[in-house]
Structure 1
């Protein structure tokens, strides 16, 4: 610390935080970070903790020698590998990723830096939403090398944008009581954000997708238009290059009069406020970089869109009738979108919201169209297995890419409906039984999910739902769904399954089934609101490695990389490997 302090700008500090975990940094697996040394700029501390990921400019992690290095630069006949093998190396990478992610998740950043000390050797790291960039190892004690000193001098003297601070979020010291009331932000900080040529006030985000190290890093905020004071939703995301900007998709849907979707107030890629920026992007590397063989690194661009509705999560339904009605509305939106030539491809509970009119009438809206695909497009895009893993159709869990169909999204609707019923609709299941149901969603095993659907109406019957109306509509839907993974016993049975399979590729049967059930006035009058119920997940067997992540965007591609190296992914043959991407 003393040796590096002369190279820091006046007011910057290095603090020993090796024994002072940050209590507010549990973004990954609730792990509280405590880097050996934390580096802070001259700004006012956000709290009294020694370790503050929300203020951290960078960190130093100290290892005794190069045996603890998490990286290598191996060039062979099969390409370049950057990840060093072995348990110690994986632990080092996991540690560094956790630190960098805590900085990214607790701040508004375009990128962040880290320093890994390995005895007399050192590596510099730069983290973005696409990857971690790692320098070659150098001897920082040599009189011929000043890389480490130069790094800290340049970092501490650089403007905030170069250091990775997203200056397009402008902190507001003075905000009217009216704005704070609209944002429900009486004790939280407020920022002004530009989207296109318009400005909006936001406070704390109400989503947690940005807690993951790589990927789109979506943050959604309740926002207030600075000019009209209209309440709306602002979505800040690092979109994947190769996919259509979400605003473009919404414009196409509205042109074809697709209902039950939000309207657009503003949208566009994000540019820096100052001269040090340009378009916020990451994941593009020229020929001078050593990129891992079969790299899963994706190019991302910073993007924002503002939508004209502020909805409620589908899990906050006021009755099971309302739940069914909102699912129906979302299915209708999906149907109309397909007619307009747009496939959603990411059906999940988070992408169906409840929007209430002035008289409190509820409508279900289908949102989050950023991974959608136009039907006229051919070929595989950046990563073709799009979707939230817990709600993906079972047949998509295949080693080889499978052409998606409308039926796959409809299966996702069915899985969402069942999941909401098991976890939020009043039922008599024990915590253990409920945990066993939810485990099916967290397991990437194709057979488990297929069997869950194969048993048909028996699946919702096991939920012991208090609402017989909800139970009946789920059983009727699942009676048809049992055909999707059925193996016919004879030709007669094969003919019946074939007819059901045709139904499963159209919206009509699902819409008509729910519409028929919703005509029941007695069910409509029943106020059986959502209730978040407890569950206990089954204990993982000791001889099976538990995956570190069950729902990141890059699980599949990490698994593919291990197969390229001739390694067998952890768990069963159909399991996914969480990996550690660089």
Structure 2
């Protein structure tokens, strides 16, 4: 019988412990885990174009000195000041060469000398990982994230080189990408800005940053780039990358010493700079508790891989004076594979209260994302819906806990720092302000939290590009619409989601992002009066004037109604024809969302049922193939005009009737709402149509979703529609190729 890992209780022989305890062993089948570059597919045009589009405009060089850069973005800890020590000559053995591999060993030795006086419990080790192909942090990302091999990797603080003998991202603290010459610096002034060499170097940096952020759930990460005898330090968050000015590390070796000392001695008191203080690793006793409550409450075992992906997540309570709620994430349901942007992650988690409490061990869906500051808070929308409908909430997720982590943490620090009306100088506050002057020293409190990005501000972009860290929990847990057990169940779920959409609009909230990832089927163990619900209110519009039952705090105080409604949002394949055709912004109306529900129905029918079309390559496939505004609009117009009525759904008369009736309703209202109320695309007419179809005889029994068809991007399943478009047409052509690599997944949870 296999012994158990003393840290995470997994069987040892084929197990790499995510916590790198002494009992972890190298997997037997990974002894030759080195693949060729072709397997990574990093050379594919779609991969390159996707990353170039994402990186475009998101790299900025800090205008101050390298010392000012470190003081601002990696401040010293007053409790752990850097000891004085001479490290001159640490990199004298680094050769001048055009072969970067010749630099690896001398750089490793120099870095080891630099960190030799860091206490062993905090000291990182440096490993050559260039020959390894490190897989994606989570299995669910393997289709979107290709294996990669950084040149040098540092271990997490206090871990030995052996922990990276078979490297995984969970064990890497930071990476060092090396180029042989200074000319290969991607941000060097005077170089060719758009050269392929520069773009490729940026891609490497961005891919490493994305993988580190995913693996550790950090708020930001640091990466080093070495170019001959010069180097830069890069700080990545979800809004962009701030690069340090270039410096000569041979002439100033103390810079790397200062960097690594501060990296593992952050003022926050955490293990490494950038770590999220609201995230922590579970212990073996936590997994025993989780296994017990799953068996007792749900007759289930712990999900496979839970011990690797699991984390404790703290979520603000609705009571601002109460301690945060604790949730043990046991299953990763969705993770956005992008580096910059919302970075949405959804977990199934168990709430931890106290032993014997009825809610102890209850399943929740926990959503983590980074919201653009200009957009209304998703939790504000959910709070309004909860206040408006209370226990009568139908077709919508119930909001239980959570909100803006940056606001919550700033409030916590405000309470800690204020003593009888005076602000106490805490170590963390000193570290943030001690080396600042002028404008940087004034807004103290908002900047002591890492739950707000800072890249956009440094790049002098509009505040709308900055992001806040959001996290909330709901008991309304769902699975993708593409996993229906019968087509009648699928249509029932869509009907309930339309009711939810109607309820939201009656409360002053317009969803504006109907897609395959946002209409979910309620899981069997969840007791709800509805079968489907509408989730993900990130892009929703909320009326400024809230209903009387809603608290003023829930009202959105952002842009005017017209301005906000003219901001184009949505998931590309499901956008209404009129929004695609508009050369300038038009007001997003209810009928546009109801048309998106129709495109969702056709998407599910085409990819997951036994349907056919006389024009196989000019029918539904043409609608969902194009990612150019004009081509996609032309395809949808042709579908409304003639092709939509040729869809054949054998053996399912009610579904065939519904598809035919709905296309007529959409075509009649494609330009404006029909003046005849009986023919208008309204909630009442759509729900009447859905109820009529569901009341018909002839629904097949057990016609579960088919997963065999391959969508246009070559994926085996189609519960991964493309990323949401925000109307930035200058990037639309880039996005067309980008989305084949970086598709948006079906979010199998609420909100």
TM-score of the alignment, normalized to the shorter chain, above 0.5:
yes
* 2-structure distance, mates of 1:46, 1:520: 65
Tell me which residue corresponds to 2:375. 243
Aligned partner of 1:178 among 292, 311, 321: 292
* 2-structure distance, mates of 1:382, 1:140: 51
**Contact 2:487–2:705 (8 Å) recurs in 1:** yes
* 1-structure distance, mates of 2:710, 2:378: 36
Tell me which residue corresponds to 2:248. 139
Are residues 550 and 428 of structure 1, via their aligned partners in 2, closer, same or farther at CA, if it must alter by over 3 Å? Answer: closer
Tell me the secondary structure at the aligned position of residue 337 of structure 1: helix
Give 1:87 shift.
Answer: 1.8
**Contact 1:453–1:478 (8 Å) recurs in 2:** no
**Contact 2:568–2:585 (8 Å) recurs in 1:** yes
Give 1:44 shift.
Answer: 7.7
Are residues 62 and 167 of structure 1, via their aligned partners in 2, closer, same or farther at CA, if it must alter by over 3 Å? Answer: same
Which of these two proteins has the greater Rg computed from alpha carbons? 2
**Contact 1:216–1:237 (8 Å) recurs in 2:** yes
Give 1:355 shift.
Answer: 1.7
* 1-structure distance, mates of 2:635, 2:504: 28
Pairs within 5 Å for 1:100-499: 100-143=209-252, 146-158=254-266, 159-160=269-270, 163-173=273-283, 174-175=285-286, 176=289, 177-179=291-293, 181=295, 184-185=302-303, 188-189=306-307, 190-196=310-316, 197-209=324-336, 211-227=337-353, 228=359, 229-257=361-389, 258-270=393-405, 278-284=448-454, 289-291=458-460, 298-355=465-522, 363-376=531-544, 377-378=560-561, 380=563, 384-397=567-580, 398=582, 400-428=584-612, 433=616, 437-438=620-621, 440-454=623-637, 455-456=639-640, 458-459=643-644, 461-462=646-647, 464-483=649-668, 499=675
Tell me the secondary structure at the aligned position of residue 155 of structure 1: helix
Are residues 47 and 368 of structure 1, via their aligned partners in 2, closer, same or farther at CA, if it must alter by over 3 Å? Answer: farther
Tell me which residue corresponds to 2:175. 59
Are residues 380 and 131 of structure 1, via their aligned partners in 2, closer, same or farther at CA, if it must alter by over 3 Å? Answer: farther
* 2-structure distance, mates of 1:340, 1:24: 42
Give 1:49 shift.
Answer: 5.0
Alignment root-mean-square deviation, CA: 3.7
Are residues 178 and 278 of structure 1, via their aligned partners in 2, closer, same or farther at CA, if it must alter by over 3 Å? Answer: farther
Deviation sequence 1:424-463 (CA, Å, 0-9, x none): 1233579x94897346335322233333332236336345
Are residues 83 and 511 of structure 1, via their aligned partners in 2, closer, same or farther at CA, if it must alter by over 3 Å? Answer: farther
Aligned partner of 1:3 among 105, 110, 119: 110
* 1-structure distance, mates of 2:325, 2:568: 35
**Contact 1:233–1:306 (8 Å) recurs in 2:** yes
**Contact 1:269–1:303 (8 Å) recurs in 2:** yes
Tell me the secondary structure at the aligned position of residue 332 of structure 2: coil
Tell me the secondary structure at the aligned position of residue 231 of structure 2: strand
**Contact 1:453–1:482 (8 Å) recurs in 2:** no
Are residues 500 and 471 of structure 1, via their aligned partners in 2, closer, same or farther at CA, if it must alter by over 3 Å? Answer: farther
Q: Which runs of 5 or more structure 1 residues have no equivalent in the other structure?
A: 75-81, 487-495, 540-548, 563-568
Tell whether 2:686 aligns with 1:510: yes
* 2-structure distance, mates of 1:57, 1:386: 36
**Contact 1:351–1:367 (8 Å) recurs in 2:** yes
* 2-structure distance, mates of 1:44, 1:387: 47
Tell me which residue corresponds to 2:35. none
Q: Which runs of 5 or more structure 2 residues have no equivalent in the other structure?
A: 1-107, 317-323, 354-358, 414-426, 429-446, 545-559, 715-719, 740-751
Aligned partner of 1:97 among 187, 206, 217: 206
Give 1:412 shift.
Answer: 1.3
**Contact 1:422–1:434 (8 Å) recurs in 2:** no
Tell me which residue corresponds to 2:155. 40
* 2-structure distance, mates of 1:552, 1:4: 40
**Contact 2:222–2:235 (8 Å) recurs in 1:** yes
Tell whether 2:131 aligns with 1:13: no
Point out the more displaced range, 397-406 or 178-187: 178-187
* 1-structure distance, mates of 2:456, 2:146: 35
Larger RCO: Structure 1 or Structure 2 (Cα < 8 Å, ≥ 6 residues apart)? 2
Give 1:94 shift.
Answer: 1.3
* 1-structure distance, mates of 2:487, 2:163: 44
* 2-structure distance, mates of 1:68, 1:439: 42
Are residues 48 and 362 of structure 1, via their aligned partners in 2, closer, same or farther at CA, if it must alter by over 3 Å? Answer: farther
**Contact 1:239–1:370 (8 Å) recurs in 2:** yes
Give 1:421 shift.
Answer: 0.8
* 2-structure distance, mates of 1:314, 1:577: 24
Give 1:375 shift.
Answer: 3.1
TM-score, length of structure 2 as denominator length? 0.64
Tell me which residue corresponds to 1:491. none
Are residues 58 and 371 of structure 1, via their aligned partners in 2, closer, same or farther at CA, if it must alter by over 3 Å? Answer: same
* 2-structure distance, mates of 1:128, 1:383: 28
**Contact 1:443–1:550 (8 Å) recurs in 2:** no
Tell me the secondary structure at the aligned position of residue 627 of structure 2: coil
* 2-structure distance, mates of 1:266, 1:66: 50
Give 1:97 shift.
Answer: 0.8
Give 1:138 shift.
Answer: 1.9
* 1-structure distance, mates of 2:230, 2:330: 42
* 1-structure distance, mates of 2:379, 2:506: 19
* 2-structure distance, mates of 1:553, 1:520: 35
Give 1:305 shift.
Answer: 1.1
* 2-structure distance, mates of 1:134, 1:382: 36
**Contact 2:134–2:169 (8 Å) recurs in 1:** yes
**Contact 2:520–2:533 (8 Å) recurs in 1:** yes
Are residues 34 and 424 of structure 1, via their aligned partners in 2, closer, same or farther at CA, if it must alter by over 3 Å? Answer: same
Tell whether 2:185 aligns with 1:69: yes
* 2-structure distance, mates of 1:436, 1:282: 45
Point out the more displaced range, 59-68 or 411-420: 59-68
Tell me the secondary structure at the aligned position of residue 256 of structure 2: helix
Are residues 453 and 32 of structure 1, via their aligned partners in 2, closer, same or farther at CA, if it must alter by over 3 Å? Answer: same
Give 1:285 shift.
Answer: 5.7
**Contact 2:452–2:466 (8 Å) recurs in 1:** yes
Higher strand share: 1
